[in-house]
Amino acid sequence: MPKAKPQSKPGARGAAPPLFDPAFRARLCDLLAWRRDVRRFRSDPLPEADFEALLDLACLAPSVGHSQPWRFVRVDDPTRRAAVIADFERCNAEALADYDGPRRRLYAGLKLSGLQEAPLHLAVFADETTASGAGLGRRTMPETLRYSAVLAVHTLWLAARARGLGLGWVSILDPEEIAACLEVPAGWRFIAYLCLGYPVEEHVDPELERHGWQGRDAACRRVLQR
Amino acid sequence: MPKAKPQSKPGARGAAPPLFDPAFRARLCDLLAWRRDVRRFRSDPLPEADFEALLDLACLAPSVGHSQPWRFVRVDDPTRRAAVIADFERCNAEALADYDGPRRRLYAGLKLSGLQEAPLHLAVFADETTASGAGLGRRTMPETLRYSAVLAVHTLWLAARARGLGLGWVSILDPEEIAACLEVPAGWRFIAYLCLGYPVEEHVDPELERHGWQGRDAACRRVLQR
């Protein structure tokens, strides 16, 4: 039976490796199935302690050469938030204009971000100038540095969901505009803009599936044998 | 107290959303802390049922526009495996030649892949030609398609660790060579080469930290306020 406490303090050396039982695996399966990209948020803030805990966990993400290149930018300033929202609206209008007919009507009806409602805005960058990792593992695949920041986003996402918090990843943005608006150091590559907060509703099926945009694609589950 | 069964069958519509309790969150914290990039594998194969379950879970990963662009290639053919290993050895020798002095000696002593021992080799690609998702969310950030495949890798990684299985991500490879060697369809972008199997040993600290290559970097935990 699972104990109420972790078998080890995460990060403590010399602790016994944990054994994960079928009950935990079943719950992990639930977590993955019910994760969701959230666009409908309640306005009440998430507790600061939860936010700090999420960042601690995100930093446990894998990274190429242990380079830990993810960088977090919390956006609270109303003027900057308004600029991000304006950039989203412009990019989203341009995206809409690319569609025709029924697709266009469908796209226009989708809610694609919770930027207006989400109590917490968090931008994630990859520091492409970091000396950490000393280049290990990314000589032939420099993109793995950016992939490492993506792994931190996913870690944060799952940890948030386990606390009943929703996360929405907004990519309908101009990366250069966002980097300029947030005045980040040179060499930081924009990876993701995240909305965080308590979700209004919970679903096991993705928003885009439920609203008829895109169903499950069998191609992704096939395995090529070589 | 956590139940032995999931509260819902993952993917079943109409099921009640799961509530994740503190015991689960503590175990999830253990999972993230003890994940590891594994390079030392036992030779015994992983059960086929486990492999299938891992693929099912990986397909629950988030993806831009619900595009589900990850594609899996299982590499069993000894000739192809030998070609991948030869490519790794060539790329690794070139990487070693870039370092000098103590860094070079340290690099030479690191074990950076379990390609020889791992019972299962799995290459992951992103299908950049997929029609799924109809381009939603990637007009200004086309790289999010590749990021989606990275999210599937991470999902598979965590699910593997929860079953006591280790995963090692090998990036010291020439992406073009690997795509050619595995004869994948045109338009598939190489994302990751994964080794899977039971780990010989378990650690809470990353290999590269334990062997003095790179410690924890405080820069990744700081939050810029904007």
Query: Which tokens sit at A61?
Result: 């993400």
pLDDT-flagged residues of chain B (< 50): 1-8, 10-11
- C-alpha distance from B205 to closest chain A C-alpha (Å): 7
Encode B36-59: b = buried (16+ Cβ within 10 Å), e = exposed: bbbbebeeeebeeebbebbbbbbb
What residue of A is the nearest CA neighbor of B207? A66
What is the structure's pLDDT at B113? 97
What is the residue whose two structure tokens read 């000894």? B78
Residues A6 and B135: their CA atoms lie apart, in Å, by 42
* Residues A135-177 pLDDT 10s: 999 999 999 999 999 999 999 999 999 999 999 999 999 999 9
Chain-chain contact of A29 with B13 (C-beta, under 8 angstroms): no
Residues of chain B in contact with residue A7, where contact means CB-CB under 8 angstroms, are 30
Residue B42 near residue B197 (C-beta atoms within 8 A): yes
- List the single residue in B6, B162, B223 with the smallest CB-CB distance to A74: B223
Which of B208, B114, B75 is CA-nearest to residue A138? B208
What residue of A is the nearest CA neighbor of B94? A139
A174 Cβ contact list (under 8 Å, min separation 6): A87, A90, A91, B140
Residues B96 and A212: their CA atoms lie apart, in Å, by 51
Q: What is the CATH number of domain A37-198?
A: 3.40.109.10
Q: Is the dihedral of CA A218, B156, A23, B53 positive or negative?
A: positive
Domain ranges of chain A: 37-198
From first to last of the 226 residues of chain A, give the pLDDT tens digit: 344 444 445 445 567 899 999 999 999 999 999 999 999 999 999 999 999 999 999 999 999 999 999 999 999 999 999 999 999 999 999 999 999 999 999 999 999 999 999 999 999 999 999 999 999 999 999 999 999 999 999 999 999 999 999 999 999 999 999 999 999 999 999 999 999 999 999 999 999 999 999 999 999 999 999 9
ipTM over the 0.85 cut-off: yes
CA dihedral (A10, A12, A14, A16) in degrees, to 10, reads -20
- C-alpha distance from B87 to closest chain A C-alpha (Å): 11
- List the single residue in B27, B130, B152 with the smallest CB-CB distance to A20: B27
Residues A62 and B25: their CA atoms lie apart, in Å, by 19
- C-alpha distance from B111 to closest chain A C-alpha (Å): 12
Encode B70-82: b = buried (16+ Cβ within 10 Å), e = exposed: bbbbbbeeeebbe
Give the architecture (CATH level 2) of B39-201.
3-Layer(aba) Sandwich (3.40)
